[in-house]
Amino acid sequence: MPRLSIEQLRRQELAAAAYEILQEEGIAGTTLAKVAERAGMSKGIVVHYFGGKDALLEAVMRRANSMLRDEVISRMNQASTPRGRLDAIIAGNFSPDFFKPEICNAWLSLCAEVPRNREFARIQRAIHARMRSNLLSALRHLLAPERREAAVIGITAMIDGLWLRFGLNQDGLDLAEARRQMDSILALHLGPRDAIPTGDYT
Amino acid sequence: MPRLSIEQLRRQELAAAAYEILQEEGIAGTTLAKVAERAGMSKGIVVHYFGGKDALLEAVMRRANSMLRDEVISRMNQASTPRGRLDAIIAGNFSPDFFKPEICNAWLSLCAEVPRNREFARIQRAIHARMRSNLLSALRHLLAPERREAAVIGITAMIDGLWLRFGLNQDGLDLAEARRQMDSILALHLGPRDAIPTGDYT
DNA sequence: GCCGGTATTGTCCAGTTGGTCTATAAATTG
DNA sequence: CAATTTATAGACCAACTGGACAATACCGGC
């Protein structure tokens, strides 16, 4: 299995390098040459393994997503209650490793291209679908059915908004304030944190 | 004043054309040639009046902002109560003329470049400062001082999040749902719409 | 130690872009 | 109406980009 192994290794190295450059230079600045140089390889190898810039950036998007996904999953696995799983989703999205201006901005750059890149749109849809499904599964036991949809939209929109603002990286928004805002939104939809669920919405 | 008049006219026409192209093609796709063609002029004229692509895009950003600002201001002027002014700010930001996928996405494109463009950052800061000041002035009579800051951040983050999601233009989010979400956020910070303000926070 | 294929490189190319420059048309002015 | 300035066009260029390609290094099997 040397072929597969080295191919996957190179792909990961290149995607990682591209992810770094993306955070520093944006999509337009993420050039094959820069990525290759950052990875310590030649430009030709990028084309050889990815076939083109588009596929490279898609790999970056998938990579960034999968890192965040793993963070969330690992936290969800440690949770035992529905509320714990809900908190795990939030905590994952505001982990200090991911809620960073450069990363938020990289996401912004990718999102901005979604309407003009079919594959980006597909990936973005998948990301959103997973977030939605995670939230719904946690909310199933916490909220009456007719309230879940609005809660999911509100929570995701607030996450997105805080990420966007943090990606601009210019005002006083910090991690602690973001978490407080998320607490508020959760309280809005679920009631105060210490409230006892009113029913068993299985 | 012929000199100034024609110069300002051309600038506006070119900025308008660039704004259109930006919505369709994103920042990288907004090329001097395309903008000139859309405006029915030659490429040289763009450089002549703006000096370069950067200044052109800055004009676009200012233009987009000023259109939205005028919408908000006009609505605020029709309001007589603090709550009315607050609602006017929200309504302006979710007016059907502005809360459109292409426009939301254009903003996304511009925001994504903020960390790498000092002038973009300046403009963005000004936009945010105005939003903040508008909200604070409306909230002054509705909320105790220590609660205003969190309310402003929450409201702006929710607006940004809904714009972001709408800019992706792929899921079921629509204008009505966005407005409902904003109502929820306002209720969270201010209490139910029909509640009587508890005090006079002048 | 040779050999077949894979991994990797560096070069080359054609297209595009932002921006400069020159020529000309229009308009303003004296 | 001449002269000077302004508006506009269009050709031109240098830089850069993504991608194609051929040449070469590497490596395991025989």
Please determine, for residue B100, whether its predicted confidence score (pLDDT) is greater than 90. yes
Please determine, for residue B1, whether its predicted confidence score (pLDDT) is greater than 50. no
Domain range spanning residue B97? Answer: 57-202
B111/B42 same-domain check: no
Q: Is B133 on the interface with A (CB under 8 A)?
A: no
Judge: B150–A181 Cβ closer than 8 Å, yes or no: yes
Query: Which residue, among B181, B191, B164, has the nearest Cα to A150 in the 3D structure?
Result: B181
In Å, the largest CA–CA distance within chain B is 61
Query: Considering only residues 20 to 79 of chain B, which have any Cβ-Cβ distance to chain A shorter than 8 Å?
Result: 25-29
Segment B18-23 mean pLDDT: 98
Picking from A16, A34, A51, the residue at the C-terminal end of a domain is A51
Q: Is B115 on the interface with A (CB under 8 A)?
A: yes
Please determine, for residue A18, whether its predicted confidence score (pLDDT) is greater than 90. yes
A153/A191 same-domain check: yes
Higher pLDDT among residues B4 and A20, named by residue: A20
Picking from A51, A75, A93, the residue at the C-terminal end of a domain is A51
Chain A residues with CB under 8 Å of B188 CB are 184-185, 187-188
Segment A13-29 mean pLDDT: 97
A3/A75 same-domain check: no
Judge: B153–A181 Cβ closer than 8 Å, yes or no: yes
Q: How far is the CA of B45 from the C1' of C29 (A)?
A: 24
User: What CATH code is carried by the domain that includes residue B46?
Assistant: 1.10.10
The total number of structural domains in chain A stands at 2
A69/A37 same-domain check: no
Q: What is the pTM of this model?
A: 0.93
A93/A127 same-domain check: yes
Which of B124, B180, B189 shows the shortest C-beta gap to A150? B180
The pLDDT score that the predictor gives to residue B4 is 62
A170/A125 same-domain check: yes
| Cα dihedral B160, B161, B164, B169 in deg (nearest 10) | -130
**DSSP states of A151-165 as a string?**
HHHHHHHHHHHHHHH
User: Rounded to whole angstroms, how far apart are CA atoms A38 and A71?
Assistant: 26
Chain A residues with CB under 8 Å of B121 CB are 168, 170
pLDDT in tens, A108-160: 999 999 999 999 999 999 999 999 999 999 999 999 999 999 999 999 999 99
The pLDDT score that the predictor gives to residue A170 is 81
Higher pLDDT among residues B80 and B191, named by residue: B80
pLDDT in tens, B37-82: 999 999 999 999 999 999 999 999 999 999 999 999 999 999 999 9
B30/B64 same-domain check: no
Q: At A169, list the tokens.
A: 């990286």
Sign of the torsion angle spanned by Cα atoms A140, A155, B103, B35: negative
User: What CATH code is carried by the domain that includes residue B117?
Assistant: 1.10.357.10
A44/A63 same-domain check: no
B36/B75 same-domain check: no
Q: What angle do CA B30, B170, A77 make, to 5 degrees?
A: 120
Query: Which residue, among A175, A46, A9, A47, has the nearest Cα to A103 in the 3D structure?
Result: A175
Residue A172: pLDDT band by 50, 70, 90 thresholds? confident
Residue A169: pLDDT band by 50, 70, 90 thresholds? confident
Percent with pLDDT over 70 in chain A: 94
Residue B193: pLDDT band by 50, 70, 90 thresholds? confident
Please determine, for residue B114, whether its predicted confidence score (pLDDT) is greater than 60. yes
A15/A92 same-domain check: no
A126/A44 same-domain check: no
Query: Which residue, among B200, B179, B197, has the nearest Cα to B87 in the 3D structure?
Result: B179
User: Rounded to whole angstroms, how far apart are CA atoms A90 and A156?
Assistant: 10
What average pLDDT is seen over chain B? 93
The pLDDT score that the predictor gives to residue A1 is 41
The pLDDT score that the predictor gives to residue A50 is 96
> Exposed, middle or buried: residue B144 (CB in 10 Å: 0-12, 13-18, 19+)?
exposed
Picking from B24, B51, B78, the residue at the C-terminal end of a domain is B51
Cβ atoms within 10 Å, residue A174: 11
B42/B67 same-domain check: no
The pLDDT score that the predictor gives to residue B198 is 57
